[in-house]
């Protein structure tokens, strides 16, 4: 998985690309670090360009949600498509995390 | 890093007594106490077997058998393939040094002996050997422990014999496959004989694989019997499991699971699912995926599960599998995916109606590299 991030007035956006899976645990730390910027109220994780997510990847989204909550940051997962959307729907992640289509 | 060489054993092989004594003085100063001597190659080979040195200091020119031949003979023996052998050679003897390496020597010290160089090279070789041995020992121990743990994990699953008995009792044929990606895995499945009409099936898959996921399967196993009262109510049962797991799992750890109860009297299959891959239901020639959406187990106390009921009459079947089946990538980078699962199930039924699971897995493994990247469990429950 690769990602690029950008900051705007209302928060941070991280756009994920490729496959989010078991081997990406180290990359997760880099995304969590984005939450540590000053004054962040909102973070969007954009999955539009993500091709695949496995159960470890779903776990990473749940970890992100917890990390965001602890810092009073609103986390939004946006735009999952195809297989990624199917996996997120199957696991009912939307009961825990705000998912925007 | 300084490693103590007090227990290291060194064999000095030299036909010249003065050389033997002076070498012994040098390496004793380097902290090595256990020193043995041999006067030629023949004597040297014998002393290697008896004294079991960690290092041999070897002269080249000796009567009876020279150092090169002794070294070659040691290297032919697998036991001594890694034994450090240091030749003593003339400093300007380039040809001789080449011959020493060709004979299997690890390194050489130049003659006349310079105490500092000699001690340093001996120490270097012994330290390497010690690290190598420590690593090999560690590896051996871990392998042994993992093997025991593997047997323990397999004991959590139903034995083939029991599946036959259960099958006879409820009019079923149950085929299964369980394969971990490393020694231990995060999958668990089992059958529960609830009463003479009802039989339950559980399949769970903890996120990740390896030791952490395996420990979680043991946790789950201990919880199964605790909620026996809710066995006829899958949604309630999953809720109970969910709450118990939520208490012990850290964020990011969770399981997908499906628990289904078959009423052999009414043909009703009632199940609840926590995000397990969509099971395949086959009835009278009809094939379809059944809905298995549900929040992952162990993520939130707020999770609510629903009972869903489908008909599974005699002649029909239910196929449960973990995500490795649809997510493992073949050589061309593709995977079966949930789109094609029905296709491969249909093909297995057409090719080998008597043993569709075996056929399906043969096809799968023909295209996927082992070891798998994730744990695979597949259970095919057919009603007779």
ipTM: 0.89
Domain ranges of chain B: 9-144, 156-383
> SS3 of B27, please?
helix
Pairing relationship of beta strands B280-283 and B317-321 according to DSSP bridges: antiparallel
- Cα(B145)–Cα(B157) distance, rounded to whole angstroms? 19
Question: Can you name the CATH fold of A2-100?
Answer: Transcription Regulator spoIIAA (3.30.750)
pLDDT at B229 over 90: no
B81 φ/ψ angles, rounded to the nearest 5 degrees? -60, -30
Q: What is the nearest CA distance from B172 to chain A, expressed in angstroms?
A: 29
Largest CA distance in chain A: 35
**Contact B302/A at CB under 8 A:** yes
Dihedral angle of Cα B241, A95, A42, B246, to the nearest 10 degrees: -10
Confidence bin at B331 (pLDDT 50/70/90)? confident
The closest alpha carbon to B298, from B219, B369, B357, belongs to: B219
Band of pLDDT at residue B357, cut at 50, 70 and 90? very high
Mean pLDDT lowest for which of B77-81, B120-124, B333-337? B333-337
Cβ of A59 and B252 within 8 Å?
yes
Interface of A with B in 22-81 (CB under 8 A): 22, 52, 54-56, 58-60, 62-63, 66
Q: State the Cα–Cα distance between residues B244 and B238, nearest whole angstrom.
A: 10
Measured CA to CA, the distance from residue B67 to residue B47 in angstroms comes to 14
CA atoms within 13 A on the CB side of A62: 27
Rounded CA gap, B358 and B364, in Å?
10
Task: Provide DSSP, B324-361.
Answer: HHHH-B-TTS-B-HHHHHHHHHHHHHHH-TT-HHHHHH
Torsional class of B276: left (φ above 0), alpha (ψ -120 to 50), beta (otherwise): beta
Give the pLDDT of residue B228: 77
Structure confidence at residue B285 (pLDDT): 81
Q: Is B53 exposed, middle or buried (0-12, 13-18, 19+ CB in 10 A)?
A: buried
Q: What is the model's pLDDT at position B353?
A: 93
Q: What distance in Å separates the CA atoms of residue B32 and residue B167, rounded to the nearest whole number?
A: 68
Asked if pLDDT for residue B79 goes beyond 80, the answer is yes
Residue of A19, A92, A96 to mutate, interface with B, max B Cβ within 10 Å: A92
Q: How far is CA A91 from CA A84, B20, B277, in A?
A: 11, 74, 9
Given an 8 Å threshold on Cβ–Cβ distance, is B300 in contact with A96? yes
Domain boundaries, chain A: 2-100
The pLDDT, as a whole number, for residue B301 is: 92
Q: Does B290 touch chain A (CB under 8 A)?
A: no
* Phi, psi dihedral angles at B100 (to 5 degrees): -65, -45
Among A19, A29, A68, A91, the residue to mutate for chain B (most B Cβ within 10 A): A91
Q: Selecting from 3.30.70.20, 3.20.20.70, 3.60.40.10, 1.20.1290.10, what CATH number does the domain B156-383 have? A: 3.60.40.10
Q: pLDDT by residue (tens digit) across A62-78?
A: 999 999 999 999 999 99
Q: pLDDT digit string (tens) for B137-171?
A: 999 999 999 999 999 999 999 999 999 999 999 99
Please name the fold of domain B9-144.
Answer: Rossmann fold (3.40.50)
Q: Nearest CA to CA, how far is A37 from chain B (Å)?
A: 22
Question: Model's pTM, two decimal places?
Answer: 0.84
Other beta carbons within 10 angstroms of residue A58's beta carbon come to 25
Mean pLDDT in chain B?
93
């Amino acid at each position: 998985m690769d990602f690029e991030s950008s900051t705007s007035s209302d928060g941070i956006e991280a756009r994920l690309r490729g496959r989010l899976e078991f081997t990406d645990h180290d990359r997760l730390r880099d995304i969590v670090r984005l939450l540590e910027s000053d004054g962040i109220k909102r973070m969007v994780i954009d999955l539009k360009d993500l091709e695949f997510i496995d159960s470890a990847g779903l776990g990473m989204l749940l970890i992100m949600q917890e990390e965001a909550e602890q810092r009073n940051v609103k986390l939004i997962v946006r735009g999952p498509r195809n297989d990624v959307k199917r996996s997120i729907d199957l696991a009912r992640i939307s009961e825990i995390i705000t998912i925007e289509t | 890093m300084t490693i103590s060489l007090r227990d290291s054993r060194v064999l000095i092989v030299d036909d010249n007594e003065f050389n033997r004594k002076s070498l012994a003085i040098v390496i004793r100063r380097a902290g090595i106490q256990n020193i043995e001597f041999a006067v030629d190659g023949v004597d040297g080979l014998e002393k290697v077997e008896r004294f079991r040195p960690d290092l041999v200091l070897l002269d080249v020119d000796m009567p009876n058998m020279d150092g090169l031949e002794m070294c070659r003979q040691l290297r032919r023996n697998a036991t001594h393939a890694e034994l450090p052998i240091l030749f003593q050679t003339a400093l300007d003897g380039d040809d001789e040094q080449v011959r020493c390496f060709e004979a299997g020597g690890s390194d050489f010290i130049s003659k006349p002996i310079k105490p500092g160089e000699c001690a340093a090279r001996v120490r270097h070789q012994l330290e390497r050997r010690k690290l190598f041995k420590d690593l090999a020992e560690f590896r051996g121990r871990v392998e042994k422990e993992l093997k025991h743990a593997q047997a323990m994990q397999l004991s959590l699953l139903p034995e083939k014999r029991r599946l036959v008995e259960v099958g006879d009792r409820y009019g079923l044929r149950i085929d299964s496959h369980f394969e971990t990606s490393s020694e231990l895995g995060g999958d668990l499945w089992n059958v529960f004989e609830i009463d003479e009409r009802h039989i339950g099936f559980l399949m769970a898959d903890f996120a990740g694989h390896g030791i952490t996921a395996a420990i979680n399967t043991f946790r789950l196993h201990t919880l199964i019997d605790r909620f026996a009262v809710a066995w006829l109510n899958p949604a309630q049962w999953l809720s109970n499991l969910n709450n118990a797991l939520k208490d012990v799992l850290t964020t990011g750890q969770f399981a997908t699971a499906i628990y289904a109860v078959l009423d052999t009297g009414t043909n009703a299959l009632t199940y609840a699912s926590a995000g397990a891959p969509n099971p395949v239901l086959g009835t009278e020639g009809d094939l379809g995926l059944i809905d298995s959406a549900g929040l992952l187990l162990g993520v939130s106390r707020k999770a609510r599960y629903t009972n869903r009921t489908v008909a599974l009459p005699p002649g029909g079947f239910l196929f449960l599998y973990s995500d490795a089946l649809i997510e493992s990538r073949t050589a061309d980078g593709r995977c079966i995916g949930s789109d094609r699962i029905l296709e491969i199930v249909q093909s297995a039924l057409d090719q080998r109606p008597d043993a569709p699971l075996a056929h399906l897995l043969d096809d799968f493994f023909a295209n996927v590299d082992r070891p798998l990247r994730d744990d695979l469990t597949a259970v095919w429950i057919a009603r007779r």
